[in-house]
Structure 1
């Protein structure tokens, strides 16, 4: 603080110059029924909406044609932790809208949507929609789906939005924009379009700039991101001369497709010039799955309600038992006793898992979960002892290498239409006998809280005796087939309460087209072509449409999409699939290696894939369901002081802040898990208040009765750390050279380091 005396109106004025600093909160740091084929994986060009070309932004977005609102200096802002999404409902921009909102849903960020095509009052924006006129803003990020949105907003509304983002330092993202100098700081270069040609060739491979590598810190610095997709349309751009533009993503000619534009008034605007669609089968529109997390993280300055992890838990069903096998000679099944693993298969799988964890990036947490049937072990047991050299003996030797899941004792069908009917006693025995076998075999990583029934039986329709028996035996989580209508996750990473026993959570699990009866590539290829190649059978099984490599690429593309959606669901395989078909290779491990290879093509080594157990998956789903029902509301203030309020009890995940006794570090970011009761308010302290360094070079000039003040802009605090002043307050009182400033003494508040009193 610097004081000075000056002559004005013939009286002595004592002028206090106070620096107002905005420490913006915003600074960071069964196997299947053999008669029913699995669901077909869609082709890359199926069910894709048209990505619309865009019009150049309307003239009203040119700031020179409107009167900007004067800067409002808000030195103590409070922002709701919520995103505002603006979209135009009159055009087909559903793919872009889905991309923008899908990952808000997946992560769990609160958001509000506004359809600008509705007109007054639903589709218009007033200042009171954005803030209270004092210091409370209702959104901490603004998303605009496409630049066509501006055709639904008038110049006054655009100015209101611009003023809000400027005064509250709220960041904006336009997810698909036509390059133009005034709103985006970008010049149009060229159109890039797929032409709806069902191509599998990328239009180009995009690369990160150094700034882009920082923003998308989870992606490889040397990223080669294929811009590919059916009916993909977009533009490349170049920074407008003189504009403050930071390119983040470039095409192969060095032109810009993603950038941050700073108009010079405090606003920051991320702009993407390529269309997007979610969900498409990778590699189609893979940018719509790889980029959203970084975009959202940037827009919220790395602090948001919600969280993300990447998960993959492989579960090969029917371990220890006999099952069906595919016969290449008859092109049909050898039922029931056609296949059983050998001890060498388990040795091979355990060795593979150990090696894969240590050699493949992001795979250190991989752990295979083994759904087993205890009845299969009986042939390996005599005189209450496990016979040496048997499959069961090997399972005992290697039990600590795996997680073991109750798959019922004999894989009995527990559906209500079975004869004899599987009543309470039968269901109870199927569950409890397997638990007793797990104890007898010494399976240490086993829980009595999770169950997978044979062929998902007893689930659809529900067998109430199964549910009651399971509940009484402590089961709280039961797997269901996510491919069955009505049994997929209702919302991201949530389960379904059992219809007759709601204390049991139904936990969806992914199927895939690695067939349950296949052990070798030849068997897998034969089965796949029988189902999906119309000419294969007619040609006498001599003209397949798909090779093993093509099949595996297609199947893992689907799984890659689930992985990039941060889905907690486990993935179903079958015990046949980890049979060693030669050289230590298996169908299941081929799948896993290819999946992780795709992931590691794009992701840095600092974002591990986790393998939660079934009961952990269920707990994560329950936690997410409670979070969704909590009606949590967050506010962030200066220094990242955060206030949370919940209507219902839940554990609230908060990314970007380390607070409390349950903090996780994942992929370079802290995530706090905050247990809150119903109607509880929690205050998370922010950074210690920082004091701006005193102004030491105040210059005073007189011109008649006018007094002009000037000084150097404040750039550090009292400790010499960087600090930006957003306002300076000048206080004055007549005839009192030693006064203490009060609000009544405020003479002016200015944004620049100068002031003239007239």
Structure 2
């Protein structure tokens, strides 16, 4: 059915009156104050959720209005703007809408938003809208395209690189993780005749020699809109690549909060050996749950050639590995081999090329005393009381390993610790609480940074004197040195009992997914597991998550299983990002500090303890004393004549500790100034956007087929 709408034109006087501003003030053209906060108008769709997730990650404050909520605030002139000490104030520096106009025909709320944007030069992001002249584009049916864009190779245009997307090298590949699932839907179209529209990201229009816009800027009626014509969720790679640019565009590169892309790799059990998976017994001899009488341990341990390979890899990729070591491995080797240990000699000869983490002396379990006569093991008890590994035993594991490292000149950060199997901390279901002796042992040894397992505890927490640093496990198994072993164990875990698997995936459908069929042991690692793990790890990197990933020394020897995944991440990243946006490779203590600062920053923002606004090219920020303040600004921004932050992705960003007093930043002259209130110009309110197609498949993260 054809919808008729009425186009409303606001006169200059009506515009000023609608915003509640004295007409006389308009002629004085004062420079308004614009608060550094984003207004997000939500319809509950995946695109809006994706943008708010990016704002949350960066620590950029926003106010969200849920259009479906009863009793929500009305968006009107008073909601959007007021006057502070005689200066007109815009309460939001940007507006994010589900589409170019999510309101009913003749909506006073849309008219108020449009007037607000024109008056204060406030940009608007259309999170996902339909290609049509009202959005600055030709109807997709007129020589364009609407439909799935899975696997499409989009690209940042020259204008996009010169605008907010210059941190990208150019390619913006759209995922196609499962050919049976429609993961992305888009409208591809060219600018409408006479429209002031600049595509920033485009893709080939199927069957045509032209390219259609996916992200572009539409300028009209004194307003600027970022028009996005593809649907996405917060987990999809194409959004993760463009998320930074969307925020930078809407804020002009001046906003609270900042993100960087991090990648750190911990290698556990260095100097020790890891027991090998037995493909006949379907367990790992040497582990407590492998009780078969024929179970004979078969150790996997690095050799000197692996050390050379690792250092060469580091040099080539610009990534430093963090080696979590157990000194008993080399002490026992030398005792059994007349003092010889070629692996330790090779590692110590190149010790300064790595970072080192205390992983305890023997890799002992430091939680409850384990009863391993049953499978699964359980905590030993005296009556109903759990028997705990003592403070003295935990402290001895930490101190002995540290002393060995110091004696051998390892460049060791003595405040960092990763316990064997992350033990000492709670392990469900057997050990629901921390070993109460752990925190005292940490204090006695000056430990302030403690590695934890992100799959068990994704949130950072305080444990005695230490902050935990959740680490992502990579699904390259500790007990596999060869690809065939990895695939065999993978099949055992992720196939149904009827297919020869363990059936664990059947028992836990909420946390894992069964493979449709067992993988080929000769090809399955390269064809299936590597791409899957690469995508998972790269997803963490692209989401601005600083948490480290951990593998084991067994993955750096024999078939060197870790490297295809690590190379996939690093090479894949560098193919997508410009040189001004490098991977940030932090050590564990610094990652813990970053996580701690993010939490404190978010808490302060939620409590309304941070004030930030812009007047012209001056930005004023005030925060509680001692709070680490995070923000982004154009290159050339100074405070008291001193450059603030460090360069990343074409902007300056970084943490600065507040002294509790207001701080004024001076933006460079090249930064676009905020608008002065004006009485000139006219405004045309747009009609509501038609319904846009959102496939059900994109409302949640696209499944990885098998659990990570």
Counterpart contact for 1:80–1:635, Cα < 8 Å: yes
Name the structure 1 match of 2:665: 684
Deviation at 1:548, TM superposition (A): 3.0
Q: Distance in 1 between matches of 2:388 and 2:434?
A: 13
Name the structure 1 match of 2:65: 114
Name the structure 2 match of 1:367: 320
Unaligned runs of 5+ in 2: 17-25, 206-210, 287-296, 371-379, 381-386, 427-432, 503-516, 682-708
Name the structure 1 match of 2:645: 663
1:661-720: CA deviation from partner (whole Å, max 9, x where unpaired): 76311232212432114x5322224568xxxxxxxxxxxxxxxxxxxxxxxxxxxxxxxx
Name the structure 2 match of 1:30: none
CA distance 1:546–1:337, change in 2 (3 Å): closer
CA distance 1:245–1:440, change in 2 (3 Å): same
Is residue 428 of structure 1 aligned with residue 378 of structure 2?
A: no
Query: What is the correspondence of 1:147-226 to structure 2 with a 5 Å cutoff?
Result: 147=100, 149-151=102-104, 155-184=107-136, 186-189=138-141, 192-194=146-148, 202=150, 204-214=152-162, 215-221=164-170, 223-225=172-174
Is residue 103 of structure 1 aligned with residue 54 of structure 2?
A: yes
Query: What is the correspondence of 1:347-496 to structure 2 with a 5 Å cutoff?
Result: 347-354=308-315, 356-357=316-317, 364=318, 366-381=319-334, 387=339, 390-418=342-370, 421-444=388-411, 446-460=412-426, 461-484=433-456, 487-489=457-459, 495-496=460-461
Name the structure 2 match of 1:272: 228
Deviation at 1:349, TM superposition (A): 1.5
**DSSP-derived class of the 1:468 partner:** helix
**DSSP-derived class of the 2:129 partner:** coil
Which structure 1 residue ranges, 4+ long, deviate > 6 Å from structure 2? Answer: 65-68, 538-542, 721-728
Q: Distance in 2 between matches of 1:346 and 1:687?
A: 48
Counterpart contact for 1:104–1:111, Cα < 8 Å: yes
Counterpart contact for 1:206–1:249, Cα < 8 Å: yes
Name the structure 2 match of 1:520: 482
Counterpart contact for 1:405–1:451, Cα < 8 Å: yes
**DSSP-derived class of the 1:529 partner:** helix
Q: Distance in 2 between matches of 1:399 and 1:386?
A: 23
Counterpart contact for 1:66–1:155, Cα < 8 Å: no
Counterpart contact for 2:37–2:91, Cα < 8 Å: yes
Name the structure 2 match of 1:36: none
Name the structure 2 match of 1:301: 252
Counterpart contact for 2:361–2:401, Cα < 8 Å: yes
Name the structure 1 match of 2:208: none
Name the structure 2 match of 1:255: 212
Could you tell which deviates more after superposition, 327-336 or 636-645?
A: 327-336
**DSSP-derived class of the 2:276 partner:** strand
TM-score normalised by length of structure 1? 0.73
1:245-296: CA deviation from partner (whole Å, max 9, x where unpaired): 111222212122221111142x1110101111122xxxxx322211111010
Match of 1:626 among 594, 597, 600: 600
Name the structure 2 match of 1:710: none
TM-score normalised by length of structure 2? 0.78
**DSSP-derived class of the 1:86 partner:** strand
CA distance 1:397–1:165, change in 2 (3 Å): same
**DSSP-derived class of the 2:401 partner:** helix
Q: Distance in 2 between matches of 1:234 and 1:723?
A: 32
Name the structure 2 match of 1:342: 303
CA distance 1:725–1:479, change in 2 (3 Å): closer
Counterpart contact for 1:626–1:649, Cα < 8 Å: no
Name the structure 2 match of 1:739: none
Is residue 311 of structure 1 aligned with residue 267 of structure 2?
A: no
Deviation at 1:226, TM superposition (A): 5.2
CA distance 1:343–1:163, change in 2 (3 Å): same
Q: Distance in 2 between matches of 1:235 and 1:130?
A: 32
CA distance 1:568–1:219, change in 2 (3 Å): same
CA distance 1:421–1:204, change in 2 (3 Å): closer
Q: Distance in 1 between matches of 2:245 and 2:341?
A: 52
Query: What is the correspondence of 1:120-131 to structure 2 with a 5 Å cutoff?
Result: 122-131=72-81
Name the structure 1 match of 2:514: none
Name the structure 1 match of 2:699: none
Counterpart contact for 2:156–2:168, Cα < 8 Å: no
Counterpart contact for 1:185–1:244, Cα < 8 Å: no
Q: Distance in 2 between matches of 1:566 and 1:724?
A: 29
1:53-85: CA deviation from partner (whole Å, max 9, x where unpaired): xx99x766x644777843656531111100000
1:311-369: CA deviation from partner (whole Å, max 9, x where unpaired): 11111111001221124565542426622222222222122222x23xxxxxx3x1100
Matched residue count: 601
CA distance 1:154–1:497, change in 2 (3 Å): farther
Name the structure 1 match of 2:530: 552
Counterpart contact for 1:651–1:673, Cα < 8 Å: yes
Is residue 79 of structure 1 aligned with residue 56 of structure 2?
A: no
Q: Distance in 2 between matches of 1:496 and 1:84?
A: 31
1:590-639: CA deviation from partner (whole Å, max 9, x where unpaired): 21111122222322233111221111111111222222233353433344
Name the structure 1 match of 2:510: none
CA distance 1:203–1:448, change in 2 (3 Å): closer
Deviation at 1:178, TM superposition (A): 1.6
Deviation at 1:380, TM superposition (A): 4.5
Counterpart contact for 1:409–1:434, Cα < 8 Å: yes
Deviation at 1:237, TM superposition (A): 2.7
Unaligned runs of 5+ in 1: 1-54, 195-200, 280-284, 358-363, 490-494, 689-720, 729-748, 753-758
Q: Distance in 2 between matches of 1:398 and 1:310?
A: 28
Cα RMSD between the aligned structures?
A: 3.2
Deviation at 1:496, TM superposition (A): 1.8
Bigger Rg over Cα = 1
Match of 1:675 among 632, 654, 657: 657
